[in-house]
Structure 1
């Protein structure tokens, strides 16, 4: 009896970004940041559409739009029109468990319910009470497959789920080599496969273009005369150089994406659907014209930056010349003022000399005319001499 549906609900999570689509989605439905179909699409004030998580992470690093680099903040982001969300959710996807064998395809908005309720390859909890093991839904039965059982040959303990594959690993059993069909004990079989002379292997230079393959025992004869093996050092050097150039081109592309907004390229489905060589040529011409537009736009930006730089350089030179002229004019004005101050000081000095000289002449004339005088007169003459002495000292100063 199959377990009830409620006990078979899977807790397996579905990563919408890791889904594979039945057809290539339109470039208009891809997020410019993660380049995957939009998940919870939102729209910015500059009318660009992003995944909600992608634009939130981008705004945490820089408050600008990732496409046109205009100022942008969280308040400028609003939910995208419902039509865009419907177009993205209606895209047909493959089941996440397709590698296990599930062939189901459905709309993206149904894939989570498919995995949770219907997918036979989704992992569910074991139906036995008290067992915490997980098993695929198609293998869920009444009896628990996680019970421990004992191997009849090596007496090893294992889960009942692993009992079917255990004979290939049991150390007490032997298995046949898939290349030479000889029987070896399981512990020795893995080492034998690495050196089995009957295994068909490719040439050591197969990744450089050699298509030869033979048994391991016969390969040494080919390696001694293989031209690809002889050229391996040179080819390896060229491969490393190509990888280096690819990394440099990737870095240059990222820098160009920062300067120019990316343009959507034709989808692979539309390109593959057209088998007309004229259509292929027109697509190639469109690609070439787009690259020419990119180059012309970049060159125009470069010319504008260079003209701005030259204009700023000329303005700086003009400011330097004006500043030098202002400095020279200020110096000339200071020189004129200093010359006037010197002339005024010289005039004052000449007037002082004249006053002192006239006072000296007046004092000496009075002393000669009076002859010998009394004590009062001598005191006056003494005072006159003292005045002349002080005047003489001033003149020296």
Structure 2
């Protein structure tokens, strides 16, 4: 007994960001961060609207609003008005399986139920009991395509789902090359197509502008005198430079979009006069808004410049104070060193005098001993007085 339609819900998930819209959405419904229609819209304290996931990721990197750079945190983010969510969810989208053949278009809020219940090209579980294979819903009511059958040519086991693919690779079957009309076994046909001499191919420099094409066997003669082939290294270098510049321009454009959010495009009116008036008014509005953003950026720049000048003045003041402190400390050290040198010189002079007096006492005669002793005693008294005076001078220093 085959399961009912409701019991075979599709396991295919829907990525809302990858959906294609029937018409271009209004710029007012686009997220300033991902530039796609809003998904679970939320609003900030500064009245800007973002996707819930986009603003959460942005706040993890920076605690400022991506539009006006004002301080912002998670507590300042609240759900957007229900009207905005309804406008976004009512946008008409194409079925994600349109490449398989589905032509359905519906509101975005209905696309998940369409894939889960109604889309004939969505993948569901096979209807056969015990089979875990996946098939498209339109084929689920038929026989199981995951059963193995025997190939009529090579007698190998092949799933019904892969029979057509197997016939293209079956070693017992042969096919004709559409270029040289020669017959080859299917496994060898793909390799032959890469070297078939009768295949018409383009010049190796066709992407640079050469329009020549001929059979593969005759192409070598053309390549020997083709100017585009000779210029290929230079052209390739210029192509790489252009790609690099395009990436840089894209990055700069994204940064500019963060600073200046995109503006809604002027609507097209049927009448020429109304259209001209609308264009002029929209142009004035966009010009005034651009001037407001320019003034905001200029004021921010002036504030940053004043802050930098203030910090420079404080740094210069600290440098002057530090230089004065070093100068005063150096003067104090110089005075102390001068006193130490004077004390050392006094001690050196006393030491020299004592050594000289002892030498004279050792070389004097006996007759002059008494006189020398008296003189020595008086000199020693003078020496003691000099030493006491020197000690007092050092203590005063």
What is the aligned partner in structure 1 of residue 149 from structure 2?
149
What is the aligned partner in structure 1 of residue 219 from structure 2?
219
Task: Report the Cα distance in structure 2 between the residues aligned to 1:274 and 1:243, rounded to whole angstroms.
Answer: 42
Structure 1: tracts of 5 or more residues without a match? 343-387
Task: Report the Cα distance in structure 1 between the residues aligned to 2:88 and 2:249, rounded to whole angstroms.
Answer: 32
Structure 2: tracts of 5 or more residues without a match? 340-380, 392-397
Task: Report the Cα distance in structure 2 between the residues aligned to 1:220 and 1:114, rounded to whole angstroms.
Answer: 55
What is the aligned partner in structure 2 of residue 61 from structure 1?
61
* Alpha-carbon offset, residue 57 of structure 1: 2.2
* Alpha-carbon offset, residue 247 of structure 1: 3.3
What is the aligned partner in structure 2 of residue 113 from structure 1?
113
User: 1:313 is paired with a residue of what secondary structure?
Assistant: helix
User: 2:6 is paired with a residue of what secondary structure?
Assistant: helix
What is the aligned partner in structure 2 of residue 40 from structure 1?
40
1:318-367 deviations in Å (ceiling 9; x for gaps) = 565577679889999x9xxx9xxx9xxxxxxxxxxxxxxxxxxxxxxxxx
Matched, 1:313 2:316: no
What is the aligned partner in structure 2 of residue 264 from structure 1?
262
User: 1:124 is paired with a residue of what secondary structure?
Assistant: strand
CA contact (8 A) 2:32 2:262 kept: no
Report the number of matched residues: 343
CA contact (8 A) 2:38 2:50 kept: yes
CA contact (8 A) 1:101 1:121 kept: yes
Spell out the pairing of 1:79-94 with structure 2 (5 A cutoff). Answer: 79-94=79-94
Task: Report the Cα distance in structure 2 between the residues aligned to 1:289 and 1:212, rounded to whole angstroms.
Answer: 54
CA contact (8 A) 2:67 2:261 kept: no
Q: TM-score, normalised by structure 1?
A: 0.72
User: 2:10 is paired with a residue of what secondary structure?
Assistant: coil
Q: TM-score, normalised by structure 2?
A: 0.72
User: 1:165 is paired with a residue of what secondary structure?
Assistant: helix
Instruction: Identify if the C-alpha distance between structure 1 residues 227 and 331 changes in structure 2 by more than 3 Å, giving closer, same or farther.
Output: closer
CA contact (8 A) 1:2 1:142 kept: no
What is the aligned partner in structure 1 of residue 369 from structure 2?
none
Instruction: Identify if the C-alpha distance between structure 1 residues 274 and 261 changes in structure 2 by more than 3 Å, giving closer, same or farther.
Output: farther
* Alpha-carbon offset, residue 310 of structure 1: 3.8
Moved more, 247-256 or 142-151: 247-256
- Root-mean-square deviation (Å): 4.2
What is the aligned partner in structure 1 of residue 125 from structure 2?
125
Task: Report the Cα distance in structure 2 between the residues aligned to 1:396 and 1:170, rounded to whole angstroms.
Answer: 120
User: 1:249 is paired with a residue of what secondary structure?
Assistant: helix
Task: Report the Cα distance in structure 1 between the residues aligned to 2:115 and 2:79, rounded to whole angstroms.
Answer: 27
What is the aligned partner in structure 2 of residue 241 from structure 1?
241
Instruction: Identify if the C-alpha distance between structure 1 residues 307 and 133 changes in structure 2 by more than 3 Å, giving closer, same or farther.
Output: same
| Structure index of larger Rg | 1
